[in-house]
Amino acid sequence: ETGVTQTPRHLVMGMTNKKSLKCEQHLGHNAMYWYKQSAKKPLELMFVYNFKEQTENNSVPSRFSPECPNSSHLFLHLHTLQPEDSALYLCASSQVGLAGFDEQFFGPGTRLTVL
Amino acid sequence: GQQLNQSPQSMFIQEGEDVSMNCTSSSIFNTWLWYKQEPGEGPVLLIALYKAGELTSNGRLTAQFGITRKDSFLNISASIPSDVGIYFCAGQMIGGTSYGKLTFGQGTILTVHP
């Protein structure tokens, strides 16, 4: 595997279900991100992890729970979601350093549908 | 919060035509980025701009970082069918608690007719 991978690619769940999205980066980066992409809206940053520590929670509802067990893996645990949470969830990683700009590499995303 | 206005929202052009899209912001950014997203994939970085006034090319793509640091444009010359996709601008602030945080535009959907 190369780059950033995400599983599953598609997920359909009911509002009472509990599921998890998984992201893995094979680039040796030290920062990982979750974004939400809804139709006709800009990508919305949800969470940022630097060196496994959460450094940003962009006012995301508690029904979304991130987990970063190591610098290569990132999870998004989902429970009691709402239909409006249906979207493409994108994971990204980057190498944060002293130079400033760090290119974020994106995974292919998980297409989530909440019924 | 920071917002980026990207225009146009969509474009339908003939192969061989040039394309221009732009982004404006209410806030200043240190870095402007342009991404392309194809169906079923995540966004891929096309061009990164680091300094106000900077003009950078990547093949048929040219992008500029506005002198006020509040805007950027992307031009695609001599479009081809594989240019189809959604193009996003993104602004990035460097430093402090905003480190690594990208603010994205709404995207421009490009369709190229052969």
Each residue's pLDDT, cut to its tens digit, for chain B (114 residues) gives 567 899 999 999 999 999 999 999 988 888 899 999 998 889 999 999 989 999 999 999 999 999 999 999 999 999 999 999 999 999 987 655 555 678 899 999 999 998
Shortest alpha-carbon distance between residue A105 and chain B (Å): 7
Pairing of strands B108-113, B10-14: parallel
Decide if B77 contacts B14 (C-beta within 8 A): no
Enumerate residue ranges in chain A where pLDDT < 70: 1, 52, 97-101
So what's the pLDDT on residue A8?
97
Decide if B53 contacts B36 (C-beta within 8 A): no
So what's the pLDDT on residue B79?
97
Question: ∠ at Cα B27 (B11, A88), nearest 5°?
Answer: 50
Whether residues A100 and B100 touch (CB distance < 8 A) is answered with: no
Contacts of B7 in chain A (CB under 8 A): none
Sign of torsion over alpha carbons B49, A109, A36, A97: negative
